[in-house]
A and B are shown apart, each in its own frame.
Chain A
């Protein structure tokens, strides 16, 4: 059952990524698509943390910041290839998550939310204030990945938009595959179990703090890789990537799409990335409409968009 669902979810996602460009009216939409995939990647990480393990974080943009600035700083100061800088960022984020997660994951609910919020603000302050290193609020340039030139030399010419659409799409697919594997694995079951009842999970032998920490570290690595991809495709990065608003955006995407499902989270990321683009016609009312949409979804479809729609369709089918 669960095994079949995994391949259906991955298949749907792969088809969407492969076929959507057929409907793109202009090259600009590749950029939007790549942005959706990057956002979706960090949201899939949050599905593991929030949806599987039931823990909240309002500071995950901090890890995106670490991933982004690893790509900006490591090639310049350490002479690392940008691709290795992505890995370095992921390792640093994972270690950071393990260090801060250990004490703060003992907290529950809104206490945990505030503690993670503090971490996110800390990262964003460091990035903003260490002007000598990061260029401060103005941000800094990010070296090119170099892969596109390599492909061109091999005779495969891609525009920047097409290239990043492809890279981010593939990374999102890998991220989704890993998350779906985890769902139906011993660790994933342990995470979902502690989400349901920590006491019962502990009495069946689940090391609750350890499993929470696992979910936290894994989701931090997702956010970090997403931050790296964002930095690399834009060629430029500012501390906003680690800002509080970015953390809130991630959680909102996850909850809006349906925090229990990988596909739903991707859907949420797509909607919240696209809406501001569409709503530009409302000019100054953009934020208002966006807020209204979110409030309405939470009132009428509290499980999130995709799971609620799926449930309704299934209900009609029976």
Chain B
């Protein structure tokens, strides 16, 4: 451990050279831009810039690419808060409370807390990576299809009522998401499902189209439906003394940030859509243990702080399996693995011993990068927040244009834009009847993963369901799910007995 710290100091020395600092800054900046543009996520951002790193040495290249990753994780929060447009899966939960805060003229504190939360989470997660990487990474490999299926079931049961609305309506939305998730080529047998002979639908429903549609376009449409006079107004006039969080805000956010960091760090080690689960789980925990539960759904700052910390921590800890055992657990680490291979670096058990300089320089640069992000973003909070001063009749078309460009940038597909608009209309209708978008997206993202893991497990066991119960991790998760479902029943029974 002490040795690790020594290496880390050496890493700082490498990362602090002018050249590497520059690449770190460039990565964080590009990442923020990529994150701000809805649709264009860290995966596309990194892939597009890999050829630009061909001329660099591997350390600088990796420092820059890593910067894009956590920069994008942070940048996503800006549009979520200001325009209710989630750029990627990890910023859906930030929309829920963050945009409400913006509507109350508290966009500044929301943006600042998102930056601060990301920074603190990034810092803690970096040290976690240094100190306990090895054993964690090995433990993570124990997650096979049965464990993954059990985890998804647990996530569904615990997270489906994430926003705390009517349980029935939440469940309906989860099911709608699950149904949408079945469209396209069946991931296990390769059969066509609900694709209506269209090559476009064969690929399934594009998640980003649903996310931007239901949240962003839905928001624009519901504004347009209001009486025309309100279009002359601004969203709200932020009071400028309220641009930065107050002491109370900070105090309330601190615990949420720490809890979010813990949740994010652990879920980042699980293969699969870690940031989604992490942000939903963190939001859920904050709502459950809130000191001011009435504020949830109406702009609770904990609901921004927790999930934002969680997604950054998850982004950071997702590096552990990649670096320590050479196994990418998600799409972003997978693309970084590709970039590393191009640069002649093979991540895996031998990386730390064979190229300690590279490894520790990258770790150190993550810490520096998080600091750069904080410096980069805090001064711009007033600028971003003042965007809300633009009258709605100008701002709403701008948001539309922004959504359309962002959507197109994902797959360069015009059909995706139509899909987004259709879901915008659906989002508008749902809004009218108080159905929530978050459970729908949960179903859409996790449904296909659950299906794959569940069917893989049964294929491995040749149809024997006991595979879920005989393995300790999966049976533990299923027990926890059962406990979660039964606890309220027992509690009620106990009360009646007394």
A, B: real partners: no
